[in-house]
DNA sequence: CGCAATGAATTGAACATTCAGTTAATTAAG
DNA sequence: CTTAATTAACTGAATGTTCAATTCATTGCG
């Protein structure tokens, strides 16, 4: 009889695997309910294996934040806004930023826990600041493009970008309180409308000017 | 010699006292670090006294959410927007909503933890929904007032109110990432400006119309 | 072989909770 | 007014469990 051999993985595979399980445990039971033991049980490995890779739980948490933030960063790099025509582009951009894919890339519940940690944990705080700075830079670049094309009339694009980030995060903040999909979709539409208003967007004229 | 008598308090005094200590412990050490033992130590009482009043930790948490939400509700009831002249009023309202007092009424870090809990905990979720509904109703009433006066041109005041709530929470979400007071104040000003734009606010004409 | 991956066994502290008992305040009866 | 009975506030000890972490042994791959 062939005993089911355990497959040995290297750190490069195992560490992210553990982090993903840790993340899933936080989603299911909250940060306060995510112990090393539970993560190990979920993976059918020994708790000490987790300690082997991360030394301390705090380490594991910091690395988890890195992991999540990288995921989010990837999202930023791969934003697919193709249109060059500014009117098309701004609508496509907003559609992406308020898309389900964007919303679901990370788990909002777990993100809240991590944001809470960022108040007490300098390393985590720094990582979030970096992420949001990246995000702001990306948006500011887009805003400048729209301003150059003369289709919006916002003020300083860098600050406006930050306000925009607030709106996007505020949306993530609230979305889950809208239970039925109708009101959820209406909320989404209204958010887009609000952003366009906020930016002083001038729609394309249908016929003459 | 008079031995320092322990003061006996009744439930009406003791329970909120415990809740406040629980809240402070969450602020200091996170929800994941807020144990009954730590709360008791902070108060110089015995852990079992906490159990006496709340039976379970989960109970205590639900009652904490009630407590916080009541605090926030009080804030709503006591909003001091006195001006009747609509232009003055809208500026005063925004100043209140983006004031330091408003921001500091509850602790954002602890709020994040509770919001995270609301994803898994039906009772907590319901309470948050109620709070935000209250908030939305309050804002919608104000919006209607401004629309009637013809100084803004928003759409459905109820939905616009919800977008506004998102913006306010998004602001709370971000404020703590702005470390120096200069950029923090600039961010605040820009948020107000964004809201006025969003609402289609038409400023008072200085001279003729 | 050598080293990384993994597992077992165990530590001591902290955890929420229970329970039995004590102390103080309140009420009612004498 | 005094005192006994009742109730609520509170304490202390002990419960079994889970926690993160350590130490040391074993296994398998290159």
Q: What pLDDT sits at residue B175? A: 87
Cα angle at B126 between B122 and B128, to 5 degrees?
A: 120
In this structure, the number of other CB atoms found within 10 A of the CB of residue B48 comes to 9
Q: Which of B28, B165, B166 to mutate to test the interface with A (most CBs of A within 10 A)?
A: B166
Closest CB to B167: pick one of A116, A132, A170: A170
Domain A58-198: CATH superfamily is Tetracycline Repressor, domain 2 (1.10.357.10)
For residue B166, what are the CA distances in angstroms to A127, B119, B160, B185? 24, 17, 10, 19
C-beta atoms surrounding A74 within 10 Å:
10
What is the distance between the alpha carbons of residues A107 and A128, in angstroms, rounded to a whole number? 15
> What does the pLDDT look like over B179-205, one tens digit per residue?
788 888 998 999 999 999 999 998 887
To the question of domain B9-55 being in CATH 2.60.40, the answer is no
Query: Which segments of chain A belong to CATH 1.10.357.10?
Result: 58-198
- Tell me the helix, strand and coil percentages in chain A, rounded to 5: 70, 0, 30
Query: How far apart, in whole angstroms, are the C-alpha atoms of residue A21 and residue A43?
Result: 7
A9 CA – C22 C1', rounded, Å = 60
* B45 has a pLDDT exceeding 70: yes
CA distance B15 to B98: 31
CATH node for B62-198: 1.10.357.10
Q: What is the pLDDT of residue A5?
A: 47
Shortest CA gap B194–chain A (Å): 5
**Residues spanned by CATH 1.10.357.10 within chain B?**
62-198
Question: HSE on the CB side for A6, CA within 13 Å?
Answer: 7
**Which pLDDT belongs to residue A6?**
55
Give the nucleotide with minimal C1' distance to the Cα of A8: C5
pLDDT digits (tens, 9 = 90+) for B130-161: 999 999 999 999 999 999 999 999 889 999 99
Residue ranges matching CATH 1.10.10 in chain A: 9-55
- pLDDT, one tens digit for every residue, chain A (209 residues): 333 445 666 667 788 999 999 999 999 999 999 999 999 999 999 998 999 999 999 999 999 999 998 888 888 888 878 899 999 999 999 999 999 888 888 899 999 999 999 999 999 999 999 999 999 999 999 999 999 999 999 889 999 999 999 999 999 988 888 878 888 898 899 999 999 999 999 888 765 43
Residues B80-129 have pLDDT tens digits of 788 999 999 999 999 999 998 888 888 999 999 999 999 999 999 999 99
């Amino acid at each position: 009889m062939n005993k089911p051999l355990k497959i040995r993985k290297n750190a490069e595979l195992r560490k992210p695997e553990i982090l993903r399980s840790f993340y899933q445990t936080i989603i299911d039971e909250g940060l306060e309910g995510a112990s090393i033991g539970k993560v190990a049980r979920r993976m059918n490995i020994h708790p000490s294996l987790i300690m082997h890779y991360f030394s301390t739980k705090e380490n594991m948490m910091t690395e988890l934040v890195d992991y999540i933030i990288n995921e989010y960063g990837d999202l930023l790099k791969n934003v697919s806004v193709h249109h060059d025509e500014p009117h098309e582009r701004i609508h496509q951009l907003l559609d992406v930023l308020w898309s389900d894919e964007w919303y679901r890339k990370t788990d909002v519940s777990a993100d809240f826990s991590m944001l809470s940690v960022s108040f007490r944990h300098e390393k985590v705080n720094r990582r979030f600041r970096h992420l949001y700075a990246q995000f702001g830079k990306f948006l500011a670049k887009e805003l400048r493009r729209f301003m150059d094309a003369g289709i919006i009339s916002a003020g300083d694009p860098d600050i406006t970008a930050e306000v925009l980030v607030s709106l996007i995060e505020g949306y993530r903040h609230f979305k889950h309180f809208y239970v039925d999909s109708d009101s959820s979709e209406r909320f989404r539409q209204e958010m887009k409308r609000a952003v366009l208003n906020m930016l002083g967007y001038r729609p394309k004229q249908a016929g003459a000017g």
